[in-house]
Amino acid sequence: MSFLTKGYTEDIDKVINNAVFSAESSNMVVLRDIEVYSLCEHHMLPFYGKCHIGYIPKNKLLGVSKLARIVEVYARRLQIQERLTSQIADAIKDAIDVEGVGVVMECKHLCMMMRGVEKQNSFMTTSTVLGSFHNQLATRQEFMNLIGTGRNQF
């Protein structure tokens, strides 16, 4: 259990700091299909799925595995998916000053599969878009294209 909630004891700055590089251009960077496992704070049952992150750097880049580590820090807590999605987007925006950032998360919830309604094939998708990902249609569309929303099967 302490493993599943170890996110509470991790320091996001310590996780990120040692892997920030200076960006030479300002193009979109996307990390797709990051596996995410978390615990629903109402039923203490797991929800799990995939997280997709995109951002357009100003002058700093995050090392590729740091994006995945940020997901881990916030997922290893008691969560609801909507908040988890927002927290990841905020953490990236805070860590390296970005032009824009977007996070999409697609999860299956065991509390929904194993209990009550027993809908066994549904999954929930949540998204947070900040900065140019929110304001510019072209950027948001490119992000949606690059992560291939709606095509995952898991």
* Selected catalytic residue, list 41, 82, 134, 141: 41
Pairing relation of β-strands 60-62 and 20-22? antiparallel
Show contacts with a second copy in window 83-122 (CB under 8 A). 83, 85-86, 104, 106, 109-122
Residue 14 touches a second copy, criterion: CB under 8 A: no
61 and 23 Cβ atoms separated by less than 8 Å: yes
Nearest by Cα to 116 from 4, 5, 40: 40
Active site residue 134: no
Residue 45 touches a second copy, criterion: CB under 8 A: yes
Residue 77 touches a second copy, criterion: CB under 8 A: no
Residue 60 touches a second copy, criterion: CB under 8 A: no
Give SS3 for 103. strand
Q: Cα(100)–Cα(139) distance, rounded to whole angstroms?
A: 9
- Among the listed residues 55, 74, 123, 133, the single contact to a second copy using CB under 8 A: 123
- Among the listed residues 16, 74, 77, 128, the single contact to a second copy using CB under 8 A: 128
Q: Tally Cβ neighbours within 10 Å of residue 14.
A: 9
Q: Tell me which residues are annotated as active site.
A: 40-43, 81, 109, 111
